[in-house]
Structures are given as C-alpha cells and as structure tokens.
Structure 1
Amino acid sequence: MSPITSDPTVPFTVGVALDGAGWHPAAWREPAARPGELFTARYWQHLVSTADTAGLDYATIDDSLHLRGQRLFDGEVPPRPRPGLVEGRLDALLIASWLGPNTRGIGLVPTVTTTYTEPFHVATALQTLDHVTLGRAGWQLRFSAGAEDAAAFGRRPAPEIDAAAVVAGAPDAGLEALLDEAADAAEVARRLWDSWEDDAIIRDVETGRFLDADRLHHIDFTGERFSVAGPSIVPRSPQGQPPVTLLAHAPQIFGLAARSADVVFVTPDNASPNAGASSGKSAAEIVAEVRTAEREHDRASRGLAPLRIVADLVVALDGDAEGAAARLLRLDELLERPFASDARIFAGGVEHAIELIAEWRRAGIEGVRLRPLALPDDLDLIAEALLPALRSRGLAAARPPADTGERAGWPSLRERFGLGPAENRYRSVVPEERAA
C-alpha cells in the first residue's frame, strides 16, 4: 500500500487520552493494571514518559466535576459512588504541571471545566503550565451541565438541557446558555494571555525598569456572567496562546469550537447512542458539519487558524498472549454489561487500525486521539507497534531524537498542530511601523 501523504502545513497529529486505569471501567482489574498507584505521581510519570519517549504529539488528561459512575450509570437520583469502578481522580491541571519539567517533548493538555471555575484562575494556571513546559501546554475546555456538578460546588444549578432536542439538532436554551458562558470564559482566557506583550519585560538594571508598563494591557471584558479587567498576573507564555481543544458531538458544540477552539475532537463511525448527535455519522459527514459551523464565524479576524479536526478512537490492540476482542469481552463480563463509549471502540490488529485511521484521513480528519482501553497494556502497544506503523504510512511525525537533556529545541504544541505563531491582539505599534 502506498503511503498516505498530507498537506505539510497541516500535520496529521497522533495523541493519547489518559484517564485512570484506562477507558474501560473494568480496566483496573487487569493483571498488568496498577490500582494501588492510580493516585500517585509515579503512575502518571510512567504513562506520560511512555508516550513521550515514543514521540506521541500530546497527551490529554481527563477530568470532571463528578464521580465517574455518575455518568456511566444513568437514572439514579441522587447518583452514588459505584464500588466496582475507579471513583475519584487527581486534578488534571496539577498533574500536568508536575509532569511538565519531567517530560521533554510531548504536549500536555489537561481538562479544565469552565462552568464553576473563575476564568482568571483558569487562564493564569494554563499560562503557568505553558511556562513550565517551555511551550507544550494546551487546554481541553469542558463545560458542566449535570446537577451533581452543581451540588458538588454548592452553587446554582446549570441550565437544564433537553438531550433529545440536542441529539436532534434542535435549538435548546439551556445548552445555548452553557455554550455562551464557555465561549466567554475562553475569550477572557485568550485576552489575558495577550495582556502582556512579548517584550513587556525589560530587565534593565541600570535604569531600574523591570518592565514597560505601556506593554501591559487591561482586557476590560464585560459579559452577562462576569467582568474581568485584567491584566494577567503571568507574563506572556512561550506559545502566547496555548491551543484550546474541545470534545464535541453535536452541531451546537461544533459552533462553540468554531468560536473558541483551535482543535476539535470528534467521534465518527460510532453507532452508540453515547455519541449523541454524532451517532451513526461518518468522518466525512462530521467534517462537513464542523466546516459549516466554522464558516459562520470569522475566525481570521480574531487571529484563529482553521480548526484542526481530530478523531477520537478507543483502542484495544492484539497482544502476543490474547486477542483484543477476547480481552474486551472478558472486561465486559467483569463489568457485567457491554462497554459503550462516545467514541468508536476498535479491538483488533495494528494493520486494521491503520486502515481505519487512513480512511478518516482521506475524509478530512487531521489527527487521531487514541484512548487506550486498558493501561498500561494498550498504551505500550500503541507506543511499540501502532505508532511506528503509522509513521511508515506517513500518518505520524518522525520519531524524536535521543534525549539529550535539552528541551528548548522541541516543537511547541502549536507547531505540532500546525497552528502557526499566535499574534498578540494588544501588540503596540513601534515608531518604525507608524512611519511606514
């Protein structure tokens, strides 16, 4: 088979999504699982170092404001913890901040919700992560619609959403309110990231001027839900604008991605109802919906590149001792129900996985985010077998050079996604430019 080639200005990225013991709820019972270490730094260091050494472009770290079982098992009011599941997790942003100086080239993309958090705190924490990683930080933006999330904070409940209307693509006032709030939070973050110009810090010991105050800017954002004056307390970070990512299953959320994100994660070729409005849709159909939403927003005027569309895939790969399909069936028996996901579940060999990914690439998908079914087994197989095979087909970046202990020369996460440099909206005009 001939290699798949892509536009060099839009690299095909390959990332990994990490959550607990893996995306299957029973994965913690696997022989290779390490349930006693799930809440330790050593566990996360091992996982992300495996991905980093293999040369994966980025790792996302999942997070939410509710226990995992509260969404896997619907209908119980009030929801309660499930003793057979991995309940509880470490804060994704704090994990990423710890991993930053302990990794070399991989992008780190924690999930941070917007509904019950202050945009200023989110923005400055992500800027700090970008400094710590020397330009490898990203943000998976998430909003929180569940009543259990509001109860956990003791705050006002989020607007109610008519799920059937959303799946049908019909307007829903509750969802629109949440999307508007998330868009405002993202806009505040982007303005704060620009509030220090690149050369605001002077460090002139002789004159006693550490910074040029004229190159710090109030953002003066006023919205229906909050007002933020700024500027940020964190100087402009290496990327200027860390990539904003978003998982989306419905046209309304594609619209949020078009307004606010750099990268949108989508879930094609999945017949499960868990995929919401994307259920049963092909990669080409979803790409068309995303591009339609994108045309409704003037991204270029806000310094945003075209959206990068990345497909999610839950991955179980054949091993030497056991086939992936048999392993999935065994885990389902432990769960006492078939595992269903919002993303397509692939269980099989490397060659078949490559065929699916290559088909998505031809349909306009610009990257794939792999969700290992069980950790560390499937992550190891991704690193040792799938990723090298993807490279041989031109579907993944070249393997990184040997570690020299230096991280400054590694590509930023923006560069990995092909987003280009981030222009500062508040950039001052220098005298030479005024004269021109």
Structure 2
Amino acid sequence: MTSTHGRGLLHLAAAVDQAAADQQELFDADLCVESARLAESGGLDFVTLGPDALGVLARVAPATTRIGLVPTVTATRTEARHVRAAVANLDRVSGGRAGWQLDVSATGAEAGLSGRRRAVPGDELWREAGEVADAAARLWDDPEDGDETGEVVPGGFGDRDAPRHIGSRLPLGHPVRVVDATGVQARQTAARYADVALVRAASVAQAGAVRDELRVAAEDLGRDPDGLRVLASLVVDLGGGEYAAEPGHGGGGPRPSAHGPLYRGGPVDLAELITAWHTSGAVDGFHLVPAEPRRDLERLVNGTVALLQHRSLFRTFYPGRTLREHLGLARPARQYTGSVGSAGGAA
C-alpha cells in the first residue's frame, strides 16, 4: 500500500539530546540552543529532546524562528491538563512550532514512581497514552477559534467528568503528536493519534513494512493515511575530521546497536541512503540521532543535508512558519465542539 507521498517532500529531523562521552551535556541549555540553530540553518523540520525537556525548549524557542520543537512527554499516569498547559506554553512561545512525543513508563521502577505496585503490560500503557492524547485534544479545542471564552470541557486522563477551564485555541490547533512506533504495542496508538511516527528500522524493507501497516491501520480507524508521516530513526556516526569511521551504506547499511539501528560512515553515503529509502516510498523522511552531538550534527547539516539540497531533494528554505506547515499537515479542524462532552474522531 506504499503511496506516492513517500516520493514527494522529504522530511528530516534530528535529536539534540544524544550525549556520547559527556552525559552531563544531555540537557545543557546552551548546547541545545546551539544545536537547534544549526539544525534550523539546514532547514530541518524539527528537533527532539528527551523527557523533562520542556523548560529547555522554552529557552530554545526565542533563539530560533522556524524549526519545530518536540520534547518527550511521558503520558503514563499523566493528567492531560498538565500536558496541555506545558505544551501549550511551548506552542505559544514558539509561534506554532511545538510538538510532543508520547512515551510510556514500562519498567517496574518507573511504575513505582507513578504510584503503581507493578509494571503494566505495554498494550495497556499505550492505551493510556492514547487516552491522554485524546483528552489533551479536547482541552485544546475551544468553542470558538481564538476566543477567550473560558468555557469548560471534560477533564483529563483518570478524571474525564471533571470540568476544566480552557483559553484560546493554539496557533497549531493541536501541537504535532509524535509516537515511536517501532514496538508493535505502540502502533495502534500511533495509527490513531500520531501526526509523525518514528520507526527504528535497520533495512528499507522493514521500514516500508511498518509504514504500510501504520497507513492501513490509520485508514481502518477513519483517518486519511496521508495525514501521517513515517520517519525512519537512525543513530548516525559520521566519524571525526575528514575521515569516515567505516563504510556505511555501501557496506550494508545500518547495523543493530544498543541504541537502535546505527549508520556508521560518511555524509555522502548517508545522503545516498536517505535518497534510496525515500525515493522507494518506504519512508517519508528520517529522524537522525547524532552519536556525538556537536561533531555529527555539524557533519549532517553541512555535509549530508547540503548535498541533498544541492541535488534538489530537500528544501533550502522554510515555506511557512509552523511545524504543521513544515510537515505538509493541515491545521486540524476542531474535533470537540458545541456542548460540553461532545466528541469527534481523532486527528
């Protein structure tokens, strides 16, 4: 079922929180600002940052003008109103460039931190995450677009009947929702709620199979599958100085690692891999995780991305201001309108 959309616009994103030797740099605000600006200079759609990063990205937002900002939000036992408030602030500060990556807490230790006595099966955790996404959408949908009415809507996860006050609708309508759909248990949630699905795939065939599965599931749920972008997520090690670490794409492509599929090679070979996977229709783009933040992001932007731009395979400027515009996604229509408690389908 691979559609022709995969041969259309190429989408590129990068992580800015993958620390290698110096783990203290994981949430260094100055490094995040520097990395986001570099990614923006290459025209990337968005950057991602791990859990508890909303405050850092609120500092990144005024230091950038176009690039999307996507923190990870752990949705397990999280009140949707808290998600709504935090992500809404980032969306307003950035002028419509916010997203949020849904994640779950799956280990026994994490279960204890969230008040549980035992770990919960993954399918149940992802079902809860979907409920948080749905409840947050209700909170983001005002009765009148841009109107500070103070109307109340149903409450968040675990408290659906409690009314919550809301303000004006956000610049994006709904901030972009990102889900790592590598695990089978996360795919139904991704198909129902995600605007962007990440897939850690070690081969073009694997990536294409997951993309097709997600598109079929989205259509079965009443969504337009062309409203879902599927990005292959790879850790990239582009070597030091002028030398590549070892042959990458030409030597067999990504290989398994503790952090997911790892590409190790030079910027030119990475451009070839990106071109081959995208033009085959297997993916809509790539989410790239630098193995060494400063070195690999710089080589990615000034090497790989510059080559793709030179070949007219990736944009050289942002055609719009919001993250939805970068991704080619329409601003979603209001799902929940009219009287309190009315509901529509997920977007």
Q: What TM-score comes out, normalization by structure 2 length?
A: 0.85
Greater shift in the superposed pair: 388-397 or 121-130: 388-397
2:133 equivalent among 186, 189, 193: 186
In structure 2, what is the equivalent of residue 352 of structure 1?
269
Q: Offset of 1:265 from its aligned partner?
A: 0.3
Show the counterpart of 1:433: none
> 1:244-259 counterparts in 2 under 5 A?
244-259=177-192
Q: Measure, in 2, the Cα distance between the counterparts of 1:311 and 1:373.
A: 16
Q: Is the 8 A contact 2:181 2:199 kept in 1?
A: yes
The structural deviation recorded for 1:377 is 0.3
Percent sequence identity over aligned pairs: 32
Compute the displacement of 1:10 (Å).
5.9
How much does 1:220 deviate?
2.5
Counterpart residue number, 1:310? 231
Match of 1:148 among 109, 115, 126: 109
- Residue 12 of structure 2 corresponds to 14
Distance 1:354 1:39 in 2: 28
Q: Note the alpha carbon deviations across 1:250-296, whole angstroms, 9 max, x for none.
A: 333211101111110012226xxxxxxxxx96222222222232233
Q: What is the distance in 2 between the residues matched to 1:184 and 1:9?
A: 33
Partners in 2 of 1:199 and 1:104 — Cα distance?
A: 22
Work out whether residues 324 and 348 of structure 1, in 8 Å CA contact, stay in contact via their aligned partners in 2.
Answer: yes
The alignment partner of 2:126 has SS state of helix
Distance in 1 separating the partners of 2:167 and 2:85: 6
Separation in 1, partners of 2:222, 2:92: 29
- Looking at structure 2, the residues matched to 177 and 305 of structure 1 have their Cα atoms a distance apart, in angstroms, of 27
CA drift at 1:242:
0.9
Unaligned residue ranges in structure 1 (runs of 5+)? 1-5, 22-26, 30-34, 64-90, 161-173, 202-212, 271-279, 327-337, 401-408, 430-436
> CA separation in 2, counterparts of 1:260 and 1:38?
28
**Alignment of 1:241 onto 2:195:** no
For the pair 1:297 / 2:230, whether they are aligned, the reply is no
Answer whether contact 2:12 2:287 (CA < 8 A) is retained: yes
Contact map agreement 1:266 1:286 (CA 8 A) in 2: yes
Distance change in 2, residues 1:243/1:232 (3 Å): farther
The whole-number CA distance in structure 2 between the counterparts of 1:339 and 1:281 is 15
Structure 2 distance, partners of 1:180, 1:152, is: 19
Alignment RMSD (CA, Å): 2.9
- Structure 1 contact 188–228 (Cα < 8 Å) conserved: no
What corresponds to 1:396 in structure 2? 314
Which of 49, 52, 68 is 1:61 aligned to?
A: 49
Answer yes or no: is the 8 Å Cα contact 1:124–1:232 preserved in 2: no
Residue 189 (structure 1) shift: 0.7
Return the alpha-carbon distance in structure 1 between the equivalents of residues 125 and 174 of structure 2: 23
Distance of aligned partners of 1:346 and 1:8 in 2 relative to their CA distance in 1, 3 Å threshold? closer
The verdict on how the C-alpha distance between 1:339 and 1:103 changes in structure 2, with shifts beyond 3 A counting, is same
Structure 1 residue 186: Cα displacement: 0.3
Aligned-partner SS, 2:246: helix
Deviation at 1:355, TM superposition (A): 2.1
Match of 1:134 among 68, 88, 95: 95
Q: Secondary structure at the match of 1:14?
A: strand
**What are the within-5 Å matches in structure 2 for residues 15-414 of structure 1?**
15-21=13-19, 27-28=20-21, 38-63=26-51, 91-153=52-114, 155-157=115-117, 159-160=119-120, 174-201=121-148, 213=149, 217-220=151-154, 225-227=158-160, 229-269=162-202, 282-299=206-223, 306-325=227-246, 340-361=257-278, 362-399=280-317, 410-414=320-324
2:227 is paired with a residue whose SS is coil
In 1: Cα distance, 2:70 partner to 2:25 partner: 21
Cα–Cα, structure 1 residues 233 and 199, in superposed 2: closer, same or farther, change >3 Å?
Answer: closer
CA distance in 2, matches of 1:238, 1:10: 26
The structural deviation recorded for 1:151 is: 2.8
User: CA separation in 2, counterparts of 1:232 and 1:364?
Assistant: 43
State which structure, 1 or 2, has the greater radius of gyration over its C-alpha atoms.
1
| Secondary structure in 1 matching 2:152 | coil
In the alignment, structure 2 segments of 5+ residues that lack a partner are 248-254, 340-347
Q: Which residue of 2 aligns with 1:87?
A: none
The answer as to 2:334 corresponding to 1:424 is: yes
1:13/1:367 contact within 8 Å kept: yes
Q: Is the 8 A contact 2:75 2:104 kept in 1?
A: yes
Cα distance, 1:249 vs structure 2: 1.5
Question: Offset of 1:410 from its aligned partner?
Answer: 4.3
CA displacement at 1:360 relative to structure 2: 1.7
Q: For residues 176 and 318 of structure 1, do their structure 2 counterparts lie closer, same or farther at Cα, with a shift above 3 Å needed?
A: closer
Q: Could you give the per-residue CA deviations for residues 83-112 of structure 1, whole angstroms, max 9, x where no partner exists? A: xxxxxxxx2111111211111111000000
Counterpart code for 1:50: L
CA shift in 2, pair 1:234/1:418, >3 Å: same
**Equivalent residues of 1:127, 1:234 under 8 A apart:** no
Contact 1:159/1:177, CA 8 A, preserved across alignment: no
2:179 alignment partner AA:
L
CA distance in structure 2 between the partners assigned to 1:8 and 1:37 by the alignment: 35
**1 CA distance for matches of 2:165 and 2:303?**
44
1:105 aligned counterpart, secondary structure: coil
Q: Are the counterparts in 1 of residues 147 and 167 from structure 2 also a CA contact under 8 Å? A: no
Cα shift at 1:386: 0.8
**How far apart in 2 are the matches of 1:395 and 1:343?**
26
Shift of 1:159: 4.1
Deviation at 1:380, TM superposition (A): 0.7
In structure 2, do the counterparts of structure 1 residues 399 and 320 end up closer, same or farther at CA, with 3 Å as the change threshold?
farther
